[in-house]
Chains A and B, each alone.
Chain A
Amino acid sequence: MNRILAAIGLGWAVLALAACGSSDDKDTTTSGAKAPDVNAKGEGKLNMVMWEGYADPSYVKQFEKETGCQVNAVPAGSSDEMYTKFRAGGGGQYDLASFSGDASLRAIRSGAVAPLDTSKLTNFKNVAPQLQSPSFNTQDGQHYGLSFVWGAHVLIYDKDKIKTPPDSWSVLYKGSPYEGKITVPDNPIQIADPALQFYGQQDPYAISQDTLDQVTAKLKEQRPVVRKYWVLASDFEQLFKSGDAVVGAGWPLMTNDLRKAGMNVGEVLPKEGVTGWSDSWMLSKNAKHPICAYKYMNYMTSPETQAKVADVTGYSPANTKTCAVVGAQRCKDLHITDTKYYDSIKYWQTPVKPTNYQQWTDAWATVKG
C-alpha cells in the first residue's frame, strides 16, 4: 500500500513540476526605451559577458576610477557561449553583453534584452551611418544594441615558416602544403566560410540543405589535416607559439597578441571572400546595474577608448571620430570610414532558413565526429 501511495505521490510531483516552474519573462512589448539618468552616480558594479579584449585593463581601469563602477568581465569563446551565459539563471547575471550579429537577434527575440535610449548614448550620432540602425540590432525602429567594433576573419600565417603570403583559403584544406599544421575555429557558424568561399553562396547564412551537405562533406575532408580546432583565442595563440600550427583562420586579436609576444606573423584577406562580425553592446532586461551599463557603453564608444580597443584587438571601431585620434594612416588601416570594405564582409547572422542553426550545429557535430 505504501509503495502505491509513494508512486502516486511521485507521479503527482512529476506532473506538478512539469506544469509549473518559472518561465522567462516573455514581455517583448517594446514600450519605448526608458534609460536611467546616465549622469547619476553609478551602482558601483558592472557585470559583462563579452569577447576577449573588450575589457582590457589598459582602458577599464580608467573607467573604474572615473565612474566607481567595478567591472566584472567574463569572456566567452563563441556567440553560443555568450548567449547561454547571458540567459542563464534568470537573466540578471550580466548587465551587458557584446553580441555579434548571430546572437543579437536571438537575444532580441527571446526578450532577454532591453531597448536602448539613443538619446542617452552620447556617441551614437558619431557611429558610422551603416552601423547606427543595422538590422541585427535594430528591430521595428527600436534600438536594442549599440554598435561597437567590427572586423573580418583573417588568415593568419607564421611568416618564418611560410615565405610567400597565401592568397587563398584553400591553404586551410586538404591539398595544402601545410597539412597537419592548420587550425580553424570550433564553431558551427564556420560553415558559412566554405559556403561563401567555395560554393559561391553570396548570402552564406541562408543556404539550402544541399549546399549544407556539400559544405559538410568538404569540412569532413578537412578534418584530418587540421591540427586542432581552436575554442579559445589562447588555443590559437598557443598552437602558433609551440609550432603546432603555422596557418589558421582567426581574429586580428590573435595577430596582435602573437606579434606582441614576439612572433613574426602575417595576416591576409584571401580573394574568395571573408566572413566577419559586427558587435553591439546589449543591455539585459533584468540588468541590476543599468546606470553603470550605460556609462560603460558611452565610455567604450568614445573616440579615445575606441582607439585603445583597436590597439588591443585590431578590430575596426564604429565611431568615425576615432580617425582624429589615431591619425590618417591608422584610420585607413582600420577601415573606419571605408564603407566599401565594410560591405564586402559577410557578417555573422543566425541561420534561419532554408537551413537553421540547429541543423548547422548538427552538421558540425558530424564533421568533428
Chain B
Amino acid sequence: MKRFSRFLYAHPGGRLGLLLGPAALWLLVFYLIALLLLLLTSLWQQDVFTSELVRNWTLDNYDKIFSGQDGLWLRIYGRTLLLAAIVTVIDIALAFPLGWFMARVAPPRWRTLLFLAVVVPLWSSILVRIFAWRTILGSSGLLNEFLVDLGVLGGPSSAFLYNETAIVLTWAYVWLPFMVLPVFTALEKIPDSLLEASRDLGAGAWPTFRSIVFPLALPGVVAGSIFVFSLTMGDFVAPQLVGGGSQVLGGAIKDRFGVAADYPFGAALATLTLATLMGFLFVSRRSGAMENA
C-alpha cells in the first residue's frame, strides 16, 4: 500500500490517470460510443416486415425527415421548437418575478425556505404531476367547473385538454423550477451597490431592469433556458397524457424505439434533436453560462 502510495506521489501522471481514468472511460463507452451508435443506426435500414436492423448504409432516413411525406417531419420539428420556445419564454416570465422576490424582496431568513418551496414539487413523481393536469383541465375537471360556476362559460369546454395548449401549460409548469433556480442564483449575486447607484442616478424600475438586472441575470436565464428547452424537446410523457393528435419530436422518437420498432428512423430523429441542442449549447457558451463555478 505504501509503495503504491509512493508511486502515486512520484508520478503525477499516474495520479491523474487514476482520478480521471474511470470517469473518462465510463463516459467514452457508455455515452460517446452510444451516441455514435445512434448516429450509425440512423444510417442503416430495417426489414419492412420483421423490423430487424439491416446494415445497409443509406441516407433514406434523413431524406424522409427533410423532404419526405410533404414535409411532415419538418413540421413536427418546427412545431417542437416553437412549443419549446413558448414554454421557455413563459418560464422566464414567471421566473423573474419569483426570483426577484426570493433574492431581493423577501427577508433573507426566508430565502432557504422559499428556495426549498420551489424544489419540493420536483420531489413528487413527474408523471403524476403531469397526470394531475389532465384532472384539472378535463371536461369535468376543476378549471371547467370553476369557469362554469363563475358564469364565464356556458358549459364545459373541451378547449383546455388534449391539444397543444394543454401540453404547453403542462410543460411550463413541470420545468418551471429549473428556470427559477438559476435565475434566482444570478439575481442574488447582483451587488446592492449597483442598484443603489442606479437609483441615485435617477433611473426608474424599467431602465434599471433593462440595463443592469437583465444583463447580469442573463447567464442564469441562458442556463435555465438550455434546461427547459432541452427537457421540452425530449419529453414524451406530457404529449401522450394531455396532448392531442399532433406529434412532437420526443413522442415520435419514443414511439419508434418503444412502440413501433423503427430504430433507424427513430435514431435519425434523435440525431436531429441532438444536433439542434448541441447547436444551442455552442451558441450559449459565449454568454458564459456554461462556465463552471
B262:A365 contact, CB within 8 angstroms: no
A80:B245 contact, CB within 8 angstroms: no
For the complex, is B50 an interface residue (Cβ under 8 Å from A)?
yes
User: Given A242-B138, A243-B140, A244-B138: A84 and B49 within 8 A (CB)?
Assistant: no
Q: Which residues of A contact B244 (CB under 8 A)?
A: 228-229
Please provide the chain B residues from 249 to 290 with a CB less than 8 Å away from any CB of chain A in the complex.
252, 257-262
Q: Which residues of A contact B140 (CB under 8 A)?
A: 242-243
User: Given A228-B162, A244-B162, A357-B49: A366 and B69 within 8 A (CB)?
Assistant: yes
B61-80 CB contact bits vs A (8 Å, 1 = yes)? 00000001110100110000
A369:B139 contact, CB within 8 angstroms: no
Q: Which residues of A contact B141 (CB under 8 A)?
A: 242
For the complex, is A361 an interface residue (Cβ under 8 Å from B)?
yes
B245:A356 contact, CB within 8 angstroms: no
B245:A369 contact, CB within 8 angstroms: yes
A87–B240 Cα gap in the complex (Å)? 24
Q: Which residues of B contact A78 (CB under 8 A)?
A: 259-260
For the complex, is B150 an interface residue (Cβ under 8 Å from A)?
no
A23–B162 Cα gap in the complex (Å)? 40
For the complex, is A352 an interface residue (Cβ under 8 Å from B)?
yes
For the complex, is A227 an interface residue (Cβ under 8 Å from B)?
yes
User: What bracket does the count of chain B residues touching chain A fall in?
Assistant: 35 or more
B219 to chain A, nearest CB (A): 32
B261:A180 contact, CB within 8 angstroms: no
User: What bracket does the count of chain A residues touching chain B fall in?
Assistant: 35 or more
Please provide the chain A residues from 309 to 342 with a CB less than 8 Å away from any CB of chain B in the complex.
none
Interface of B is mostly: loop
B261:A84 contact, CB within 8 angstroms: yes
For the complex, is B104 an interface residue (Cβ under 8 Å from A)?
no
For the complex, is B93 an interface residue (Cβ under 8 Å from A)?
no
A362–B258 Cα gap in the complex (Å)? 17
B244, closest chain A residue (CB): A228
Q: Which residues of A contact B161 (CB under 8 A)?
A: 244
B72:A14 contact, CB within 8 angstroms: no
For the complex, is A109 an interface residue (Cβ under 8 Å from B)?
yes
A83:B51 contact, CB within 8 angstroms: yes
A368:B245 contact, CB within 8 angstroms: yes
A13–B261 Cα gap in the complex (Å)? 26
A110:B156 contact, CB within 8 angstroms: no
A244–B258 Cα gap in the complex (Å)? 28
A79-114 CB contact bits vs B (8 Å, 1 = yes)? 011011001000000000000000001100110000
Question: What residues of chain B have their CB less than 8 Å away from a CB belonging to chain A?
Answer: 33, 36-37, 40, 47-53, 55, 68-70, 72, 75-76, 134, 138-141, 156, 158, 161-162, 240, 244-247, 252, 257-262
- Interchain residue pairs with CB less than 8 A apart (21): A13-B33, A14-B40, A78-B259, A78-B260, A80-B259, A84-B51, A84-B257, A84-B258, A84-B259, A87-B51, A106-B51, A227-B162, A228-B162, A229-B245, A238-B134, A242-B139, A242-B140, A243-B140, A244-B158, A357-B48, A366-B69
